[in-house]
A and B are shown apart, each in its own frame.
Chain A
């Protein structure tokens, strides 16, 4: 299975702190994506990193990719209460549909 596995399953921090979530996968990928889901809502695409990239930034988000370790991390800097959500990584092999993990539930307290 190419399924991404996020770690930790849940993370609780204070506003202003940084939040780091990790994703591991099993087979080769074309790209890896991170999505966010607010409670009971649909997923929203956050950022995509291609297999030939090592790091990517978007606002307060920083994503890294280590294809040799088959792992990625999502860093949210200076977190806000509004960042409270579940975060999912999704692997794209380039020849079939995305595969999602179980997600990391992030709680940011004011």
Chain B
């Protein structure tokens, strides 16, 4: 987990609130990711950014809005969420997205535990 910092670690919000999750990496990586982890489900890839450009968006509802202002920071803006959106949201980074360049090893943050009431 060293090198990728996520804040807040815990967030409780109502369905009408607007909040943001923040992720920061100081590893010099070019790619950053948002994953959703729900109980008894595989990790769900939400978004991928490479050099600040979104390169993958896996049919995520528009109530989740990512932002990558630079290669070190990644945000996930949340609005009008549903209770089923409660989960652990994991940020990760890697040297690049691995497309055609061989091994793609991810470094994860500790996660943000989101509860939607």
Bound: A97/B90 CA distance, A: 15
If A3-B42, A40-B88, A97-B33 touch, whether A92 touches B98 (CB-CB below 8 Å) is yes
- B61 lies within 8 A of chain A by Cβ: no
* Residue interface mask A19-63, B partner, CB < 8 A = 1: 000000000001101010000111111001010000000000000
Bound: A103/B78 CA distance, A: 27
| Contact yes or no, B90 A42, CB < 8 A | yes
Interface size on B, residues (CB 8 A): 29
Where chain B touches its partner, the secondary structure class is: loop
Among A45, A95, A102, A103, which residue has its beta carbon within 8 angstroms of that of B99?
A: A95
Interface size class of A (residues with CB under 8 A): 20 to 34
| Contact yes or no, B108 A42, CB < 8 A | yes
| Contact yes or no, A44 B103, CB < 8 A | no
Give chain A residues whose Cβ lies under 8 Å from the Cβ of B103.
Answer: 30-31, 48, 50, 92
If A30-B102, A102-B42 touch, whether A40 touches B97 (CB-CB below 8 Å) is no
- B104 lies within 8 A of chain A by Cβ: yes
Give chain B residues whose Cβ lies under 8 Å from the Cβ of A87.
Answer: none
Among A33, A42, A48, A88, which residue has its beta carbon within 8 angstroms of that of B1?
A: A42
Q: A30-B98, A90-B106 are in contact. List 14 more A-B contacts (CB 8 A).
A: A31-B102, A40-B88, A41-B111, A42-B108, A42-B109, A42-B110, A43-B43, A43-B106, A44-B108, A45-B105, A95-B100, A96-B98, A98-B106, A99-B42
